[in-house]
Amino acid sequence: MAVSPPFPPKCPFCHKLIEAPKELEPKRLGDFAYGRCQCGAVYVYDVTGHNLGAAFSEALGYGCSFDWDLAWELVPDEDYEERLIERYDLKTHKVYPAGRTEDERTVRGVLLFLSFSEEIKGVKGPTPPVDQREDGGSTQHPGPSTPTRQYSKREVKAVVQGGDPEYLDKIAVMASQDPKVLNRLQQLLYTPDPAIRWRAIEAIGVASRAAFKRRPNFVGEFLRRLLYSASDSAATNWGAIEAAGEIIRNIPKTFDPFIRELLALMRFEDSQASVLWALSRIAEAHPQGVKERAFFPLIEMLSSELPEVRGLAARVLGLVGAKECINSLRRLIGDEAEFPLFTRNGYETVNVGELAQEAINKIEDEGAKMDERELNEKVKEGERLFKEGEVLTNQGRSLDAIEKLEEALSIFEDESYEKGIANCCEKLGDVHCFRGNLGNALPLYQRALTICHKKGDPISEIILIEKIIDLYRRQGDHEKCAPYYMRALEIAESTGDAGKAGYYLTGLGDVYQRQGELHKALDAYKTAHSIFMKTKALERARILAEGIARIEEMLDI
């Protein structure tokens, strides 16, 4: 079937040709480019295609002249409509339906469009042209009629360090009257007293929630400044990451997309523990948001050389109910490395193994509660047999384990309990792999994968896909890995996991190279190399660079 040729983009609302988006000055956190159609629709360019949450926020703000008071009051489908143009390339200002340019460069960019209702157009006034806007600021609405006054640094500091157990309530009242209390609290992040610094971090979250009702744009810009300072390795940013996490925890509906900005900071080893502490605070209140965006980076942190990173990663995985990681967490139970952790009780010395055990207990408790609510008596019997099979597997009694697991699977099939079927198939596949029966394992993994895909569980999908890829590679059927690499890459991009995306692109390049499709292999390797350089995976980047050079020599490039 012939592939449609590339074409210049048109506005999806009025169908007129649009100009290429341009960057604002000064550049904003997301580093997006902006544009405006003649019909009044605005658009934002996301080069990766997997940062659409932040792109949407920027488009909404740009469409309202960065008047966040107005922007966050708008109702989807009533006050504005959203459209996407995928596979857009800014360099050529064209849409490539095949996802590749003429020189075989992969195109993943997305243009996100918002068109506002006539009523909103009348309220917000004209959006400033990109090339005329210099400060990225906004005109303030007066906000709620809360009494206003200004608080000095001395007053704010007195409340934070005064020892009053209700200091957070007092901070909230102060911030609702004077949003610049946030700036006073930020100054306390530089105090040498760690107890005051941690109280200030918690206060920033509460103050942000209170100030957001009056001046949401002020809070948004404050969060951006925190993340800017944290991303500047030359800057002193004590507490900035933790404070950013507190803001996201307290205003998740608006700022959940910034979890990805936090994750990007884990490329700095000195920031990893701070990011994980922030994620643990967010996960306490909003576990699903953290699991959807941070699951795979958390798994990688379990093998860190730093005990505080291993321990905090285990803690977060427990908070998000990551049952998929039970075995990885069990391997940390004997880890007695200690580190100081700030909690509501102050500084406490904890060890990695204790945090791993707490995470396991939490995951198992939550699973037991869910089972109690959902399972009938027959399925509960299947669950009992499944757990016996797990125990036998851990004892090395693989034949007995297979017998128990197959009994459990039969019950789950009779009851049409798909969760149990998927779990049994995966565990049976693991046991068969252990015994070297790869041919028996493959259809079990594939059946589990089908259920997880149908249920919309991308995390379990990735885990199963990696097992299937490993099986095919061990059997020498490398070409059969390609569709699984493609699906894994799609999931990694949708969750913003650049490290995983680079890994899958490398695997895809290996498949192409074995098939003799060197140009496709080169494209995959170069994209992966770029990702590894950006994520500071320098050893992987070095190895890929050597492979790229060899292919270019073969192609005489």
pLDDT tens per residue across span 314-330: 999 999 988 888 888 99
pLDDT by 10s per residue, the chain, length 557: 455 789 999 999 999 999 999 987 544 545 678 999 999 999 999 887 776 767 787 888 888 887 765 776 676 777 788 899 999 999 999 999 888 888 888 898 999 999 988 766 655 544 444 443 333 333 344 444 455 678 888 899 899 888 778 889 999 999 999 988 998 898 888 887 888 888 899 999 999 999 988 888 788 888 888 887 787 644 446 788 999 999 999 998 888 888 888 888 888 888 899 999 999 999 998 888 888 778 888 888 998 999 999 999 999 999 998 888 888 899 999 999 999 888 777 778 999 999 999 999 998 887 665 555 456 788 889 999 999 999 998 888 999 999 999 999 999 988 888 989 999 999 999 999 999 999 899 999 999 999 988 888 888 888 999 999 999 999 988 889 999 999 888 888 777 677 788 899 999 999 999 989 999 999 999 998 988 887 778 888 899 999 899 998 888 77
pLDDT at 12: 94
Residue 99: inside a domain: yes
Quickly count: other Cβ atoms within 10 Å of residue 57's Cβ: 22
Determine, yes or no, domain membership for 526: yes
466 plus 484 within the same structural domain? no
Token duo for residue 366: 């939550």
| 247-277 burial: b if 16+ Cβ within 10 Å, else e | bbbbbbebbbbbbbbbbbbbbeeebbbbbbb
Q: Which two tokens stand for residue 113?
A: 């469009």
Point out the domain boundary residue: 447, 476, 505: 476
CA 330 to chain centre: 25
447 and 514 in a single domain? The answer is no
- Residue at 11 is within a domain: no
Please report the pLDDT score of residue 126 as a whole number.
44
- In a domain, residue 421? The reply is yes
Token duo for residue 372: 């109690």
Inter-residue contact 182 to 208 (CB < 8 Å) = yes
Residue 280 placed within a domain? no
116 and 196 co-located in one domain = no
Q: Are 80 and 50 in contact (CB under 8 A)?
A: no
Question: Which one-letter DSSP state was computed for residue 10?
Answer: B
For 154, the token pair is 């001395």
3-state secondary structure of 113: strand
Q: Are 79 and 54 within one domain?
A: yes
Q: Are residues 160 and 259 in the same domain?
A: yes
Domain end position, chosen among 428, 443, 476: 476
140-177 residue pLDDT tens: 444 444 556 788 888 998 998 887 788 899 999 999 99
- Asked if residue 384 belongs to a domain, the reply is yes
Residues 472 and 486 in one domain: no
Residue type, 394: N
Kindly report the CA angle at 415 between 413 and 420, in degrees rounded to 5? 60
Looking at 450, 476, 502, the residue that finishes a domain is 476
Write down how long the chain is: 557
Q: Give yes or no: residues 178 and 216 share one domain.
A: yes
Same domain, 405 and 432: yes
Q: How far apart are CA 179 and CA 175, in angstroms?
A: 5
Give the integer Cα–Cα distance in Å for 72 and 302: 38
Residues 417, 502, single domain; the answer is: no
What range does the domain containing 388 cover?
375-476
- Whether 86 is covered by a domain: the verdict is yes
Read off the pLDDT of residues 206-237 as tens digits, 9 standing for 90 and up: 999 999 888 887 888 888 888 877 876 444 46
Q: How confident is the model at residue 39, as a pLDDT?
A: 92
What CATH number corresponds to the domain at position 514?
Answer: 1.25.40.10
The residues near 402 (Cβ < 8 Å, ≥ 6 apart) are 389, 428, 431, 432
CA distance 544 to 513: 13
The answer to whether position 281 is within a domain reads no
| DSSP code for 80 | E
Distance CA 311, CA 553 (A): 46
Q: Is the domain of 467 the same as that of 550?
A: no
Same domain, 466 and 492: no
Let me know whether 502 and 469 are in one domain: no
pLDDT of the residue at 276: 95
Q: For the chain, how many structural domains are there in total?
A: 4
Q: Tell me the whole-structure pTM to 2 decimals.
A: 0.55
